[in-house]
Structure 1
């Protein structure tokens, strides 16, 4: 039972300079605890939240003490409850959250209660940004054409979200075409300080997207979480989290000419994570040349050639320096007569309308257009895998010749199969470098020594010839990026656009489920991860594609897995459907297949799971220690559960269980060693042997069971 807050004695009034008060806040210095001075600022945000929400029920005094004693408790991985100030959603993860809220209303109604009481208890901001695809690129009408296609594909989803924005209190939906969620959060949604009925407290947010941490740049504590955690916070529950350690990273000096903030961030990331993604081509194949015809003209492609060059993502397009830097590179290149090969798919997708305004004011958008970097939409596009199709001739050249084609993007993710199914080499770069690589046409180049092209008068042009100085960039930022641009953009952001405003939605407080819908489906419950639950395109030969075609959906209207997260039938079929996943049961073969061991059939993972299920067989999934890492994704948890009905086991769980058993029982060492060596346990032979192990049979019970 909740009780009176025991920290009310430190409530302090913030007075206005001319008299009166702004409100009251919990003053940490008023605790007179010397440990506070040693707490990192991010931990102080957690401390203030715990103090403000300390009710003796959801948050206890002992939780406050854990945070105060951070230096001693954090190394012990203690858990604390955290109640963020608000929740941030995008449409891929937002649809299933709203589906669950609608389902809860139905349940309340069936129980005879007041269904209108089901509402988010903290502010929820949902930005529709993940649905626009780069179907049309390299043309002046790309924005309008892509938006029309976006609405054709997603009309039902958008209508559902628009219904939700009207039906639920405390929920703001930002219409499609407005920008990318994290840039909109940075430029508009972030409160920095809340004033809730006279109670002042720091803004904090959890978002169903790993890039939520962008908002930390404003001093707002932000975390990326899964959809299930976000829904719990929406409904007033604290989020249980391990009290985090804090790593300090000190930067000194200033960036040299030619080095962007993006380069710095990627370098810091590499230093912190020591993790890289690359590709290798056998030496004898490195000089392979694929001849093809592009729109009636002869063309060639080699390993490492760029086929996608995309200026995209919230992180980069929210930085005017790198955006205007890219535009200056384009201007210098155009002045010298450089061009981008016509078969390279170029695109520019800003995270907000502000970017277009300052590019237009600077007069530099013209040069980006000249190189093919027309604005294609205001959304995630290539970064989320919505890169659209490549030209058929380019696709054929890649697949028929097994070319390792490259994508260069100013995005945040280059997971296998994420950017495009046919680009095995995907590189993250700053917007100016995206333009430079598009001009070079290949990632297999040394910019210091090799020319990127030839000028109109026949001279070799090098990277240094087109790269702007920091002073040039600063000057154009100063003259082109103005405060009024932000004000005018966001004054009208929630008013939508004609296509959004024309969407007709019911006014009922309960949602009318359509059993034939392939987007929104009444779920079989009521209340990471790209390899488990992909977000990108639906492959034509996948179980999800078969399901859609059986219901009359044309291939051109498949859309993406992310767009169909409101339908459990699609998402269950999409689980382990990433085209780049590797299954050791198939001896390293790449693709979403497995072996149905009793019959020896090679099937999709979903079809095999259903065959096991129908045959009454328990199933087991063995995976490495990184299982579940990556983007926050609730369907990475729900999908396997629906496939195998909770009979989900991970390699680390099996190993830990056997280690525990070793301490209690006399287990044969050969079996124990086999179970503790992933390279052995993940071979088909070892799996079959281990399947007969009595100790593994002992462990085959639902996780968390007796």
Structure 2
């Protein structure tokens, strides 16, 4: 099968034209004559995509007309479906491995059906970055990076050889080896085209990735967002992405950030604001004069957090700042000229004085942003820095189980306080003083808190730690390490602290895991790395690490104190997510903060401090050192950036980006059109999804006699459903692996073992902080087997139901499936026997992933919930109406009947199959069999 062209248009709207750039003539589908001024910039990219792919079948003239009607001032039909065709797909290793596993399984299925396995091949470029496997095992020493990479290869070499097989066997599949950087920073600094030049055509770079933070490159004018690995397989194999016409929320920015406020403070403010507004499933687009005042690294930081506020994307249009950034990161002048010429011609160039016709609008005066954190459980729970201590104290009793908690996955005893702090003055600035404090403040009454002072010996000294001790301080994740302003600020703060004689507390696990080698280059050139290292922030690796749960073990004495004394310790990280159980299983309170604040909390050693008012420590002469004494001004930060960060750093760092080090080049890659599965492997197993697949799907059946596997509350994240962190030895997954002879040290993480369905099934609903209402008062992966009444692991109960031939349901609350675009949060339940999930609302990506595995998403009618209907989860369920799904038939709702304790409750639930493609996927049992059958049909 040859790769299809990116252009397959009927050109019904006569938009094909020529554009000359630097003496070369290119073909374009021009928007110039279509009158698109009222259309949001992000939807202009979608419009071009539809025009270029209009074929009368998947992409029709009616789809194009929907956007033209919007541009013409007519209210769009947001229930209408569009088909978007990405120009490339983007993967990381922990989602990429199962994606390639599925492609390998599809090749085997082709052989079993008597067809050529090479028919299964990417149809658009696919780029994979290995950045999710390195763990911060070693820290606080000069050889931490080298040791962690060595351990990474020892744990993951089997997976890496498999990816090399994919690189050598699959067409248009490129792999960036380990130790290079975080995928989204590499995407922004090197891979993103912004405008693609191919086969004599120019068109926008549309990137769909297996990580929800693929949105980061929205900050540079690339339309991109995260999809699940399941959907990624489909678009890699030539499927368009079927989606509803989105509502577009215009976010107007104006004013300027005040002195002392960082990009992290800005993004936490935006996240809180948009979560309150409600943007799930919507596009967010930034406009207004404040956009021009926002640097491109700050835009990347904001766009990266799109999944945290729930939007599909967070788009910044192309402007002069975009062009400056392309030059700044070493893109060649031909690329830069193409981007500017094309954007201006197509009306994709930003005008700060223009406001398109948005579905809804929000605005923010940048001058109101103040130093902030977010925690202890969710990225939208913003806390003013001046209120961090009282907020911690209010949250602690609930964490310790000393106050009433909700039955869901997370209780929010402190939620009101997290959203209703009194206003705080912005930082005061003295023009003669280069070291302004982050804030002057008046702290509200400090609540009392439980105390649990524990004495620990660290080295030769005794120390006392209490609830709130900072066990992890990590500068990590693409959100912040892509931004020189906050990284240089962290370095300057560390330098001043070290000069005053301050050191991180010995119980704090400190780590620095930047998003690219460029970061360590400019920190080194600026002379800031020695100071960071003095405080324990040695380079631990170029990868996501702590932010995805690869934090590694705590200081052993702290782990012992946590287990023996039920000590509630804290992590402070410059990441984007702080969900329950994500960062480290021994850390129950997690706070997001800017890199300089991460350093400050490492110095303080506790959350139970007024970071602004209390001393961080004492200098050589015994004088107190406060945050204001060492906080760098924005002018100082910018001076360092101007003096050290240069374009040649980027060209040098990415000169051999696909080559890898000697460990990578030494790996032997298997060969052959099909992969040779090793039945003894604990990392890679051939998945069972396609076993016994027929050329035609069987008719869809209604659900009868179903039981509830788990009943969950609001804000269930994909981390709760399918954790990514370390595999505890006592869990079903840990017991399975140790039973095969895997040593405890080699158990690794769930994220690293996503190529083995046996591990991932056992890890489903196994998050240590999951609260299943079928077993109230219990945290972790337990449920009640309703056939026997016994409390079992979720896996064991599911296997008992399977043996009895009982289908399963999941009951959930609001925002089911928020968080990472984790395909195993759908694959795992499917393999356990879950037929449907009934919830009050779904996060966009997870709903698509459920459909991609053939699981039916059902949504309570507005105003109804499991609670309002009196559902306990102990009933027997039937779902009627699914059998009506057929070609062209897609009922809006189904009837759910719950029977138990002599009562019967019947109600209607919305069938969240939003497009005909959704319905087709469910009829076929998921995306993979659907795509395979399409390939078979096209092959004749």
Could you tell me how far 1:596 is from its partner in structure 2? 1.5
- 2:67 aligned with 1:64: no
2:686 maps to 1:681: no
Does 42-51 or 246-255 show the bigger shift? 246-255
Equivalent pair of 1:210/1:224 in contact (CA under 8 Å): yes
Cα deviation for residue 314 of structure 1 reads 0.8
Judge conservation of contact 1:587–1:684 (CA < 8 Å) in 2.
no
C-alpha contact (below 8 Å) 2:89/2:236 kept by paired residues: yes
2:728 counterpart of 1:539 = yes
Structure 1 partner of 2:599: 435
Cα 1:293/1:506, change in 2 over 3 Å: same
Q: CA 1:354 to 1:151, structure 2 compared with 1: closer, same or farther past 3 Å?
A: same
Cα distance, 1:572 vs. partner? 0.9
Aligned to 1:266: 268
Equivalence map 1:163-562=2 (5 Å): 163-274=165-276, 275-276=380-381, 279-281=395-397, 282=402, 286-526=450-690, 529-562=718-751
Q: Distance in 2 between the 1:486 and 1:658 partners?
A: 50
- C-alpha change, 1:104 and 1:684, in structure 2 (3 Å) is closer
Q: Retained in 1: the 8 A contact 2:209–2:232?
A: yes
- Deviation string for 1:278-335 (max 9, x for gaps)? 7332577523212222234211111111010000001111111111110000000011
User: Alignment partner of 1:6: what SS?
Assistant: coil
Aligned position for 2:15: 10
1:668 match: none
More divergent stretch after superposition (578-587 vs 588-597) = 588-597
Specify whether residues 596 and 111 from structure 1 end up closer, same or farther in structure 2 by C-alpha distance, changes over 3 A only. closer
What corresponds to 1:24 in structure 2?
27
SS at match of 1:251: strand
In the alignment, structure 2 segments of 5+ residues that lack a partner are: 1-6, 277-379, 383-391, 403-446, 694-716, 842-855, 878-897, 914-918, 924-940
CA contact (8 A) 1:647 1:702 kept: no
Instruction: Give distance in 2, aligned partners of 1:558 and 1:242.
Output: 41
Task: Give the CA deviation at 1:594.
Answer: 0.9
**Cα RMSD over matched residues?**
2.6
What SS class does the counterpart of residue 264 from structure 1 fall into? helix
Secondary structure of 1:300's counterpart equals: strand
Q: Does the 8 A contact of 1:690 with 1:696 survive in 2?
A: no
Query: Relative to structure 1, is the Cα distance of residues 684 and 509 closer, same or farther in structure 2, using a 3 angstrom cutoff?
Result: closer
Q: For 2:835, which of 639, 642, 647 is the aligned residue?
A: 647
Q: Give the alignment of 1:122-137 within 5 angstroms.
A: 122-137=124-139
Deviates more, 1:63-72 or 1:589-598: 63-72
TM-score of the pair, normalised by structure 2: 0.70
Could you say if the C-alpha distance between residues 696 and 617 of structure 1 is closer, same or farther in structure 2, counting changes exceeding 3 Å? farther
Structure-2 separation of matches of 1:692 and 1:140: 67
Q: Secondary structure at the match of 1:585?
A: coil
Q: SS in structure 2 opposite 1:434?
A: helix
Q: 1:118 aligns with which of 117, 120, 123?
A: 120
Moved more, 254-263 or 353-362: 254-263
Give the Cα–Cα distance (whole angstroms) in 2 for the partners of residues 657 and 157 of structure 1: 38
Distance 1:27 1:600 in 2: 65
3-state SS, counterpart of residue 519 of structure 2: helix
State the distance in 2 between where 1:357 and 1:160 align. Answer: 32
CA contact (8 A) 1:648 1:702 kept: no
- SS, match of residue 304 in structure 1: coil
The answer to whether the 8 Å contact 1:691/1:697 transfers is: no
- Summarize the alignment of residues 99-110 of structure 1 with structure 2, pairs less than 5 Å apart: 99-110=101-112
Task: Summarize the Cα distance change of 1:656–1:511 in structure 2 as closer, same or farther, 3 Å threshold.
Answer: closer
Q: Tell me the distance in 2 between the aligned counterparts of 1:698 and 1:364.
A: 62
3-state DSSP of counterpart to 2:37 = helix
Indicate conservation of the 8 Å contact 2:813/2:865, yes or no: no
Deviation, 1:119, is 1.2
- 1:324 touches 1:476 (CA, 8 Å); kept in 2? yes
Asked if the contact 1:133–1:386 (Cα under 8 Å) also holds between the matched residues in 2, the reply is yes
Counterpart position of 1:578: 767
Secondary structure of the corresponding residue to residue 546 of structure 2: helix
SS of equivalent residue, structure 1 residue 346: strand
CA shift for structure 1 position 30? 2.5
Equivalent of 1:595 in 763, 772, 784: 784
Q: Secondary structure at the match of 1:416?
A: coil
Q: How far apart, in 1, do the equivalents of 2:590 and 2:903 lie?
A: 42
Matched residue, 2:434: none
**Alpha carbons of structure 1 residues 137 and 673: separation in structure 2 relative to 1, 3 Å:** closer
**Partners in 2 of 1:619 and 1:399 — Cα distance?**
35
Structure with the largest fraction of helix: 1
Tell me the distance in 2 between the aligned counterparts of 1:532 and 1:226.
14
CA–CA separation in structure 2 for the residues paired with 1:414 and 1:629: 12
Single out whichever of 361-370 and 547-556 deviates more from structure 2: 547-556
Q: Distance in 2 between matches of 1:409 and 1:75?
A: 42
Q: What secondary structure sits across from 2:14 in the alignment? A: helix
Task: Give how far 1:8 is off.
Answer: 7.2
Mean CA deviation greater in 172-181 or 96-105: 96-105
- The number of equivalent residue pairs is 686
1:235 offset after TM fit, Å? 0.9
> Residue 135 of structure 1 aligns to a residue in which SS?
coil
Q: Distance in 1 between matches of 2:59 and 2:767?
A: 40
Q: Per-residue displacement from partner, 1:514-544 (whole Å, max 9, x unpaired)?
A: 1111111111124951111111111211111
2-structure distance, mates of 1:657, 1:161: 38
Inter-CA distance 468–81: structure 2 relative to 1 (3 Å threshold): same
SS in 2 for 1:195: strand
| 1:689–1:52 distance in 2 versus 1, CA, 3 Å | closer
The answer as to whether partners of 1:655 and 1:675 remain within 8 angstroms in 2 is: no
Partner SS, residue 15 of structure 1: strand
Distance, in Å, in 2 between the alignment partners of 1:77 and 1:537 is: 41
2: CA distance, partners of 1:284 / 1:320: 39
Q: What's the CA shift string for 1:35-74, capped at 9, x where partnerless?
A: x110110011111101100011221111111222236555
The 10-residue stretch of structure 1 (392-401 or 245-254) with the greater mean CA deviation from structure 2: 245-254
Per-residue deviation, 1:673: 8.2
Contact 1:325 1:473 (8 Å CA) reproduced: yes
DSSP-derived class of the 1:184 partner: helix
Which residue in 2 is equivalent to 1:44? 44
Larger strand share, 1 or 2:
2
Q: Residue 440 of structure 1 contacts residue 452 of structure 1 at CA under 8 Å; is this kept in 2?
A: yes
Please tell me whether the aligned partners of residues 416 and 424 of structure 1 are also in contact (alpha carbons under 8 angstroms).
yes
1:150 is the counterpart of 2:161: no
Q: 2:427 matched to which residue of 1?
A: none
Q: 1:8 to 1:109 in 2, by over 3 A?
A: farther
Task: Tell me if the contact between 2:78 and 2:246 (Cα under 8 Å) persists in the aligned partners.
Answer: no
Counterpart Cα distance in 2 of 1:376 and 1:151: 15
Structure 1 contact 452–463 (Cα < 8 Å) conserved: yes
